[in-house]
A and B are shown apart, each in its own frame.
Chain A
Amino acid sequence: MSARGEGPVSLPRRGLLAAGAAAAALGGLPARPRAQANTIRIGVLTDMSGPYRDATGPGSVVCTQQAAAEFADRGFTIEVLQADHQNKPDVGANIARQWYDQGVDAIVDVPTSSVALAINQIAREKNKVHLNSGAATSDLTGSQCSPNTVHWTYDTYMLAKGTGAAVVRQGGDTWFFLTADYAFGHALQRDVSRFVEQAGGRVLGAARYPFPATTDYSAFLLQAQASRAKVLGLANASTDTVNSIKQAREFGLHRNMRFAALLMGVIDVHALGLDSAQGLLLTESFYWDLNDRTRAFAGRVRPRNQNRPPVMVPAGCYGATLHYLKAVADMGVQAAKASGVEVVNRMKAMPADDDAFGPGTIRADGRKLHPAYLFEVKTPQESRGDWDYYKVVATTPGEEAFRPLAEGNCPLVRS
């Protein structure tokens, strides 16, 4: 806008331009800090425009607001801000620093591992709170763990274990991987292979495809078919997963193989359609139709959320925010604003319980523990209506679903 706005200004020289830019910058500041000591400010930092928008983004904002609304009138006001980090760590870091400096007490969500790890450092430096729901990296509670961070919803370890071990127990004991050839894909394949082998299964092979920009998976899928494995493990994410599933079906692989998507959510199933997605195995820690409590929660959120039920990451934002607010109410707003570490310690000390995840605890390394579910995608005949996509195949209890405390190499635990 500035480009157009500054054009017609008839007064000369650059000084005006600079002033104009400065004015534009100041004018656009997200809500100037008001020195209200009795307000808890929560910033939802998420992806509003990129590939994770549908799985996080506006849904995360809605669910955070839902938590704030349900917690209203406990003697302090709650303000929820939002911003788009555009999946750029520097944009995210800049917003986070600015928010924290201007009196934001907690930042929620933060999908994309690189951005999350950056915010992790800043929250620690400023002694504020970072409630992560959207990022997958288990480093947040491992080598880079922080006393200011709670990692709520899921992580790569949980996905690998939830799918790897549980599928073998269901009889899928020989695996072939289709792996995106970069660090994330390798890590996922390595972790899942370990759980498959621990559970008594065998990995028959893997095909690595160049990432990004592979759209034709035929050569890799034919390798998978020739391996005669019972399970095709998809160690990739987002559009790659969707494309590879569609193509695998076109090759008829589903006739003698099960597909296990290692990072996929109900949004992707929705995008893919039940015709293509049916029979798929995947792990999540939240599904709206799990039990009465999740259905009640989904019913409350739906009207605000374009009449869609919440998905996993936004549900995590709800759970984390609600538990955070309980801790704040418990210790008092002044004390909570003074020290992020103290709030997180209080959160760890209190048992967690919310409609989305049920009862759970937060471990010393910041890991929230709750069950992980292995879901099978329903066939079009089984689905009874809108967003009725999953049936539960197996449940891994929280203590087993996540990486054991001792294996994470979290410095907070050793000391």
Chain B
Amino acid sequence: MADTTLTGTALRGRPAAEAGYWGFTRAQLLALGVMIVFMAVAPFFLYPVFLMKLLCFALFACAFNLLIGYVGLLSFGHAAYFGMGGYIGGHAAKVWGLTPELAILSGAAVACVLGAAFGWLAIRRSGIYFAMITLALAQMVYFFCLQAPFTGGEDGIQAIPRGSLFGAISLSSDMAMYWTVAAIFLIGFLLIHRIVHSPFGQVLKAIRENEPRATSLGYRTDDYKLMAFTLSATLAGVAGATKSLVFGIATLTDVHWAMSGEVVLMTLVGGLGTVFGPVIGATVIVTMQNYLAEMGAWVTVIQGIIFVACVLAFRRGIVGEIGNWLKVKL
């Protein structure tokens, strides 16, 4: 992509200070530090399995944010890649006996192929039509998972072994698994950040801001959108496959359309197009689902209230609003 680099630089036109440190601003770097410290300390205070779930959903939301936050494409079918990644990862670990890293990679590979195929169809339209096409295709995946013999129907794939990382390090203890998941999340998070702040990412943002203009500058915008869609789907697949290994189960919940809605909610609550927004959004939503479980039906009511409050009062999401106050990009 040599030509992209050249023209990408031309499009960028931002102050040099902002682009420093790996594309992180100083405030972002500080926030990243806080996040890493939190990740390192948290398992000693909080329940590791809960934290792993949180990290899986945070990665899923970040992958989704890559698409909606930076390309402006609202996919309403991301559960398909998340869930399919989970099923394939689980199947690979349980039936084919692959090691966890290979299982996750196979889940990611299938999500990638699925994302490329669905993206190729969906990017031909924009706005509500794009959202509806992705939703329709995701529903097809849901029905496939409901019927296909290997997914176990509504019982799901159960008792998926965590196995040993690289065939050597046993992941059966929660702590070992936690560090693996934390590493996967961090790699995914930094990768997304790198993508967004690469010349390629600049073109994506240009498409978000004004697609005809990007086209007039000579970019094949469809190719860029498809690439972003595929990357987002692949990372969602990584998150799904990791989650199925953490819990030892892969079920229909993860391919259901409600999951596609949940990831939209996480990203909106946290802040669209912010680096840390999806992480915070996922934290808020997953924490509520987990710790309010004893309150029964109120979980969904509270979730709804938060969503309404965010849409009415925090248009930019939690992180977006904070960034706006402090006048920094987070």
Contacts and interface: CB of A to CB of B under 8 A. Distances in A.
A29 B287 contact: no
A12 interface: yes
B210 interface: no
A185 B251 CA distance: 18
Interface string B127-168: 000000000000000000011000011111011000000000
B195 interface: no
Contact of B290 (A6, A94, A101, A114): A94
B42 interface: yes
B21 interface: no
B49 interface: yes
Interface in B182-219: none
A219 interface: no
Interface in A46-83: 48-49, 53, 57-58, 81-83
A93 B326 CA distance: 40
Contact of B158 (A12, A17, A29, A144): A144
Contact of A117 (B158, B295, B299, B314): B158
A24 B287 contact: yes
B184 to A, nearest CB: 17
A199 interface: no
B31 interface: yes
A90 interface: yes
Q: What does DSSP make chain A's interface, helix, strand, loop or mixed? A: helix
Contact of B249 (A1, A89, A101, A139): A89
Contacts of B306: 1-4
Residue of A13, A90, A139 with most partner-chain B CB within 10 A: A90
Contacts of B292: 28
Contacts of B280: 14, 17, 21
Contacts of B45: 22, 26
B146 A182 contact: yes
Contacts of B50: 25, 94, 98
A114 B83 CA distance: 15
A13 B153 CA distance: 45
B296 A7 contact: no
B293 A7 contact: no
A118 B300 contact: no
Nearest to B256: A88
Interface residues of B, number: 61
Contact of B31 (A14, A81, A120, A137): A14
Interface string B278-310: 001001100111111111110110100010011
Interface in A1-37: 1-4, 6-7, 12-15, 17-18, 21-22, 24-26, 28-30
B287 A2 contact: yes
A357 to B, nearest CB: 26
A183 B153 contact: yes
Contact of A3 (B146, B310, B325): B310
A3 B269 contact: yes
Contacts of B289: 86, 88, 91
A82 B294 contact: yes
A90 B53 CA distance: 8
A184 B154 contact: yes
B287 A90 contact: no
Nearest to A144: B158
A21 B31 CA distance: 15
Q: What does DSSP make chain B's interface, helix, strand, loop or mixed? A: helix
B147 A182 contact: yes
B35 interface: yes
A1 B49 CA distance: 23
Contact of B321 (A1, A7, A22, A84): A7
B227 to A, nearest CB: 30
B17 interface: no
B248 interface: yes
B24 interface: no
Contact of B46 (A14, A25, A49, A58): A25
Given A17-B322, A21-B283, A95-B293, A117 B46 contact: no
B314 to A, nearest CB: 7
A211 interface: yes
A84 B293 contact: yes
A115 to B, nearest CB: 8
B30 interface: yes
Those 8 A-B pairs whose CB atoms lie nearest each other, nearest first? A183-B153, A48-B296, A28-B291, A49-B297, A83-B293, A14-B31, A15-B34, A18-B38
Interface of A: 1-4, 6-7, 12-15, 17-18, 21-22, 24-26, 28-30, 48-49, 53, 57-58, 81-91, 93-95, 97-98, 101, 113-114, 117-118, 120-121, 137, 139, 144, 181-184, 211
21 contacts: A3-B269, A3-B309, A3-B318, A7-B313, A12-B322, A14-B31, A14-B280, A17-B280, A18-B38, A21-B287, A24-B287, A84-B293, A89-B156, A90-B249, A93-B249, A94-B50, A97-B47, A114-B155, A118-B248, A183-B152, A184-B153
Given A21-B283, A89-B247, 8 more contacts: A2-B306, A29-B291, A89-B251, A93-B247, A95-B293, A98-B50, A113-B154, A144-B158
